[in-house]
Structure 1
């Protein structure tokens, strides 16, 4: 007995674009290495109460540092924006997003007025100032070329540097990320597949160990 021909299954959802903070990850890994080194040393060399204090401190500090440095990430595809912050995971269909804002932090504002911070895309004022200086240098070089042309026997004084974006103003990396997200929002907010409800889930797998470590450490300190 033959089975009827099955229609081809639809293509899976588009793959996520993943945005994270490289400096945050590097700093977090370095800090975790120091904490584990000191903690394990105290467990091996310490005695009695010292070992318990070291254990409680590691239970508290390791997940806490991981949550704020290694864990944060932003996942974006054509249907939704998923934000993995230190203690929460927020899923926002593009149709529910009103704006993506950048000031002293990068934020997403929903149409209901709720605001969520993008921990994985931190604002760097230093990077912005550096990008602005590079843009100014590129503009000044362009003006010199336009007025006097190449100088010094065709050596091309004022030629564009290799690290300057010739297509427009130089942008800090996190500002480029926000530009990408705004472009996705502009193209997908009206799409039928990009509608739905905003969901927020607390990361109990992270908060649980932090609370347990804090309670254990508080009890040990209270006992003297």
Structure 2
């Protein structure tokens, strides 16, 4: 079973940009007027390539056998047994074979961290009588478990737990695979071609 973790807001905004760019490309082709249209197409191509790299491509995947980190220019596949440690700062940092993989998503921003800290704090009393609803023991335990934790913290914990579970099974770790993101380079190549065409046409 595959589980995917990404920045939801970046993913949504990325597809909104793609739709916006597609409509503009159609309009520029229909109303083509030479150099100005080519320059506009080149700008759209460059921005769309950057949006794809930064917002649409990054994802952290959990599979049965491995953690897959898709960053803008590379994809790293780590068998769970090969993971030594997972820590969270601004990003999730995964150590394996003496090396470090920084996952691009989910990230823990300062605003999200502050919100998590506030969520874990006790609500202020409002006056003489406590009118706040009383939480059950199970609800209190859940609130304490989540207190001060961001989505990135939770995903980092899941990575550490899966890695520990895999190591306890004492199976041989499969190979670590790191590959270049050919889709990203293709997007950049298209953008570069459009820039060259716009310059040459001038």
| Fold equivalence (TM over 0.5) | yes
Smaller-chain TM-score bracket: 0.7 to 0.9
Deviations 1:164-207 (A, max 9, x none): 94343422222211111111112113435561221111111221
Q: Alignment length, in residue pairs?
A: 198
Q: Distance in 2 between matches of 1:65 and 1:157?
A: 44
SS at match of 1:137: coil
Contact 1:36/1:58 (8 A) holds in 2: no
- 2:25 paired with 1:47: no
Which moves more between the two structures, 164-173 or 19-28? 164-173
Provide TM-score, normalisation by structure 1.
Answer: 0.74
Task: Give the corresponding residue for 2:111.
Answer: 126
Unpaired runs of 5+ in structure 1?
A: 1-14, 142-150
Please identify the structure whose Cα radius of gyration is greater.
1
Deviation at 1:158, TM superposition (A): 6.8
Q: Do structure 1's residue 36 and structure 2's residue 22 form an aligned pair?
A: yes
Structure 2 residue corresponding to 1:168, chosen from 141, 145, 151:
145
1:83 to 48, 63, 69: 69
Question: Cα RMSD between the aligned structures?
Answer: 3.0
Map of 2:162 onto structure 1: 184
Q: Tell me, in whole angstroms, the C-alpha distance in 2 between the residues paired with 1:119 and 1:25.
A: 12
Moved over 6 A (4+): 161-164
1:207 aligns with 2:185: yes
Per-residue deviation, residues 23-43 of structure 1 (Å, max 9, x unmatched): 111121222233333333333
- TM-fit CA distance, 1:221: 2.5
2:121 matches 1:136: yes
Q: 1:223 to 1:201 in 2, by over 3 A?
A: same
Q: 1:217 aligns with which of 195, 198, 201?
A: 195
Unaligned residue ranges in structure 2 (runs of 5+): none
The 3 A distance-change label for structure 1 pair 194 and 174 is farther
Are the equivalent residues in 2 in contact too, given 1:79–1:195 (CA < 8 A)?
no
1:97 to 79, 83, 88: 83
Distance 1:166 1:65, change over 3 A: closer
